[in-house]
Amino acid sequence: MLDPWRERDACGVGFVARADGIRDHDILAKALTAVARLAHRGAASNDKSGDGAGVLTQIPHRLLGVGPVERVALGMVFLPTQRTDEAIDLIESALVSLGMSVLGWRVVPVNAGVLGPLAAANQPVIRQIFIGPPSGPANAQLWERRLYLARRVIERRAAAAGIELFVCSMSCRTVVYKALLVGTELPGFYADLQSPLFETAITVFHQRYSTNTLPSWPLAQPFRLLAHNGEINTLWGNRNAMLAREPALAAPAWERDVELLKPVIWDGGSDSTSLDNAFELLVRSGRDPVHALMMLLPEAWERIPDMHPALRSTRLRSVSTSSSSPGPRRPDSTTSAGSRSTTPTSDAATTTLSRVTL
């Protein structure tokens, strides 16, 4: 019989970081050890194809031989095995149309021999793209916003053309390495992760246990800003509320480009994907990452008698701009400054946006 004390039906998630911000390989090595020891929190099919595992790190400049963060952005992309050249042209065209330059592509070295047959049969073409900044003064935050917009344009054009591609990350600060496997196999699949030249001060890691969606390469975590452990039990209500209010989406940061961000929530994603979509929208629109997490993952604040009036007012305002949904969870995320942020919360509420005036 099932022993409730031995439940293992939730994703494994965590982070390793240096408080002084100094990059080295040891941080990544510790994270890879940790995610391997979370294999019991994940799942695999009967052919040993895992539900997915990955890491989110700072861009490894020494490994890739690229310049400072202000000058080169990196995209990690899953391309289709068919129509690969069309997908590459589509990505390059979108970036150039938004004022950025394509500096080159890199074939990511992988070892498909560690994958289970099902994962191997669905393995995408994995490439990295190096991107030059738009014209004007160097500003990492504005560039991140432009890269977010470019990714949304890429996704819209790919959907219209019937091309199945997935942008794991596109940033001037961070990169995501993930695959359809278990954590023990991650460094064996990606040779980059074994190199001592791969240096980072932060690593968010994730081992997936697929619940409300089937395992797939795109749904492995981490996502672009966070890794999430838990379930959002009113998922469809939150998604529908977001969709219904998208006509009101507005923010000074976007002006006319705001239409290119819609739909904000990817309808083929998981609950965790939807949370990342909403979080990314808030952060790229100018919200402080900690503030955005407080909006999306509020504590059970209503019955705290000694809460500071200013914080209570903030909570009341968030109620009018977000919809609560029950479900225990723990997100680990990187902020726009490249540091790690964790919001421990009660089981009272997980939220995604319902009113989207930013």
| Residue 57 to residue 191: CA distance in whole angstroms | 15
Averaged confidence pLDDT in the chain: 81
pTM equals: 0.82
pLDDT for 195 equals 97
Give bridge partners of residue 14 from the DSSP assignment.
205
For 73-82, 85-94, 176-185, 187-196, which range has the lowest pLDDT when averaged over its residues?
176-185
Average pLDDT over residues 199-208: 92
The residue with greater pLDDT, 152 or 213, is 152
| Residue 287 · residue 340 · CB < 8 Å | no
| Residue 56 · residue 169 · CB < 8 Å | yes
Token representation of residue 58 = 């700072």
Please state whether beta strands 202-207 and 73-79 pair in parallel, antiparallel, or not at all (unpaired). Answer: unpaired
pLDDT of 260 strictly over 70: yes
From the list 11, 181, 261, 278, the catalytic residue is 11
Distance from the first to the final alpha carbon of the chain: 50
Assign residue 307 a region (left: φ > 0; alpha: ψ between -120 and 50; beta: otherwise): beta
Contacts of residue 80, defined as CB under 8 A and 6 or more positions apart, other chains included, come to 87, 124, 125, 163, 164, 165
For 112-121, 180-189, 259-268, 342-351, which range has the lowest pLDDT when averaged over its residues?
342-351
The residue with greater pLDDT, 169 or 234, is 169
DSSP state for residue 193 in the 8-state scheme: G
* Residue 172 annotated as catalytic: no
